[in-house]
Amino acid sequence: MADALVINGLSKRFGGLRAVQDVSFTVKENETVALIGPNGAGKTTSFHLITGFHRPDTGSVMAFGREIVGLKPHDICALGLARTFQVAKPFGAMTVLSNVMTGAFLRSKNNAVAREKAREAIEFVGLSAKEQTAAKDLTTIDQRRLEMARALATEPKLLLLDEVMAGLNPAEIDQAVALVGKLSGRGLTIVIVEHVMRAIMAVAKHIVVLDHGQKIAEGSPKEIVENPEVIRAYLGSYVHPPAGGAGA
């Protein structure tokens, strides 16, 4: 399988704080990789660096064989990298459909085409019944669905999901896990930042662990949950991978 994303020696300081320090990892096409670690470990900053919202001090980000450091977020999105935000940022007064059309307009300026693409994305995430609902009136899980639909409407090859399961109840987490699996089944490469470990175990074949901006481990879910340094820094206690799950 070819490499979708190759991150090499990525670093970012904010004043004296080393938010991301010399981080390297590779994501293969159609793989789902999780980025985990305690609060403030540098996960969201890494997403910002990959997607052009921050410029790294040093390091390289190759997406589908092309260096993307220095490109604007819009251009990176046009190359097929879409993201969701940790704090969902929909246009609250606009309907679900209008919000998702803002993503679809990246590929087509034609209203009818953008509407069609947006509807496909909305249907994919299971929001068709709420197409005309204002974004601000959605429940938490539906806001996450909207975030994913908006990203999907840009027709990405690689999707970066930032804590899409935060605040969901167990049944909703199951639905979100199923949706991530469905996205992967569609051929998407996925990088997911998440604190919900059972969800990580269910969706990711490979896990990268950050702590204080540094990569402290990477490997299969089984390797990660058994890694003493990861347990010390983050997990606290052993988390069993699901029988028959991605890491089994």
42 contributes a contact to ligand ATP by CB under 6 A: yes
Q: Near ligand ATP by CB under 6 A, which window of 14-22, 98-106, 138-146, 233-241?
A: 14-22
Answer whether 152's CB lies under 8 Å from 104's CB.
no
Residue among 31, 37, 100, 145 that touches ligand ATP (CB under 6 A) = 37
Nearer to ligand ATP, 47 or 124 (CB): 47
Give the total of residues touching ligand ATP (CB under 6 A). 12
Residue among 9, 17, 55, 240 that touches ligand ATP (CB under 6 A) = 17
21 contributes a contact to ligand ATP by CB under 6 A: no
40 contributes a contact to ligand ATP by CB under 6 A: yes
- Read off the amino acid at residue 9: G
| Smallest distance, ligand ATP to C-beta of residue 44, A | 3
208 contributes a contact to ligand ATP by CB under 6 A: no
Side-chain half-sphere of 53: how many Cα atoms within 13 Å? 11
| Smallest distance, ligand ATP to C-beta of residue 12, A | 8
Q: Which of 191, 186, 155 shows the shortest CA–CA distance to 28? A: 191
43 contributes a contact to ligand ATP by CB under 6 A: yes
Distance CA 79, CA 71 (A): 10
Structural tokens at position 35: 């980025």
| Smallest distance, ligand ATP to C-beta of residue 15, A | 7
44 contributes a contact to ligand ATP by CB under 6 A: yes
| Smallest distance, ligand ATP to C-beta of residue 54, A | 7
84 contributes a contact to ligand ATP by CB under 6 A: no
Residue among 16, 39, 187, 238 that touches ligand ATP (CB under 6 A) = 39
Q: Residue 195: exposed, middle, or buried by beta-carbon count in 10 A (0-12, 13-18, 19+)?
A: middle
Distance CA 10, CA 20 (A): 7
Nearer to ligand ATP, 134 or 231 (CB): 231
The helix/strand/coil state of 231 is helix
**Which residues, at least 6 apart from 142, have a Cβ–Cβ distance to it below 8 Å?**
127, 130, 133
How distant is the alpha carbon of residue 248 from its chain centre? 23
Distance CA 68, CA 70 (A): 6
DSSP structural state of residue 72: -
Place of tokens 């909207």: 146
7 contributes a contact to ligand ATP by CB under 6 A: no
41 contributes a contact to ligand ATP by CB under 6 A: yes
Answer whether 193's CB lies under 8 Å from 36's CB.
yes
Q: Near ligand ATP by CB under 6 A, which window of 41-49, 56-64, 76-84, 139-147?
A: 41-49
Which residue ranges make up the site for ligand ATP (CB under 6 A)?
A: 14, 17, 19, 37, 39-45, 86
